[in-house]
Amino acid sequence: MNEVKKRLAAIQKKHKRFKQQQFIFTSALERSQEQAHGRAEPVKTVSQIQRYMTHYCSNGTDRSILFFFLEIVSDLNNVLKLINASCRYPSNDTLITCKMLVHPDSDISKLRAQHPHNEILRLTCETKRHYGGIISFIPLALELLGSAAATPDGTPAPSPVPTPAREERLTPPRSACSHAGSQKAEGDRRVRSAQPQRDPKIARTGAWHAGKPVWRPPGFRQK
């Protein structure tokens, strides 16, 4: 997974440069859509951008920024292939979601990246409606691939419920109440053993004995 993390770091650097050219990107998409007579519809798929670059770009600057976007998408696909090849559990939910997301014909028009991806907040309402999904695509794909790479070998988290074979090997635990009761009894024994033992004669002179007058023989007078 070290190679995957290196590639993800490289993609993040590219994405940082791409964000600085975001308005150039959306302007290129707008001009390409006008050439394709499809401005009324949001951009839905990566394949659509590929088609714009190939057939409807009006200048080299537009073609360059669209190519830059598609280059990042290609890098994301290569990282996904690396993770999938080294994963013992290629059917886990994160990888399945990644595969669906980066597929060139997946409808990503409804995607909306949330905080801290403020590149979405900088879009106008109309631009967000048309290109919010495309702008959200790269940051969301990076998050998903990062989550897949963070789990060693793509192994899903172990189930908290033990299997029946495991249950047979486990020693039945004592209940919390019985455990607390045994601890209290043991503590009481220790406290009693630590206390000094009183003389039996002194023990008999309790409060009742202390309240009685001292015994005197008959006819005895105190001087």
DSSP string, 168-185: HHSPPPPPHHHHHHHHHH
Tokens standing for residue 198: 């009183």
Instruction: State pTM to two decimals.
Output: 0.65
Please, which pLDDT band fits residue 71 given cuts at 50, 70 and 90? very high
Given a cut of 50, is residue 178 above it in pLDDT?
Answer: no
Is 198 a member of any domain? no
Identify the CA nearest to 145 among candidates 91, 85, 102.
Answer: 102
Specify the pLDDT at position 171: 33
Q: Determine the structural domain holding residue 43 and report its residue range.
A: 2-152
Residue 16: predicted pLDDT: 93
Is 165 part of a structural domain of the chain? no
Q: Of 106, 104, 86, nearest to 95 (Cα)?
A: 86
Residue at 120 is within a domain: yes
Copy the structure tokens of residue 216.
Answer: 């005197």
The structure tokens listed for 191 are: 């406290």
Residue 123 included in any domain: yes
Residue 166 forms part of a structural domain: no
Q: Is residue 199 part of a domain?
A: no
- What is the predicted pLDDT for the residue at 40? 67
Residue 173 zone, left/alpha/beta (φ > 0; ψ -120 to 50; rest): beta
Judged on CB neighbours under 10 Å (0-12, 13-18, 19+), 30 is middle
Q: How confident is the model at residue 125 (pLDDT cuts 50, 70, 90)?
A: confident
pLDDT recorded at residue 61: 94
Determine, yes or no, domain membership for 195. Answer: no
- Is residue 84 included in any domain, yes or no? yes
Residue 168 pLDDT greater than 80, yes or no = no
AA letter at 26 = T
Give per-residue pLDDT as tens, 11-48: 999 999 999 999 999 999 999 998 887 666 888 999 99
Q: Count how many domains the chain has.
A: 1
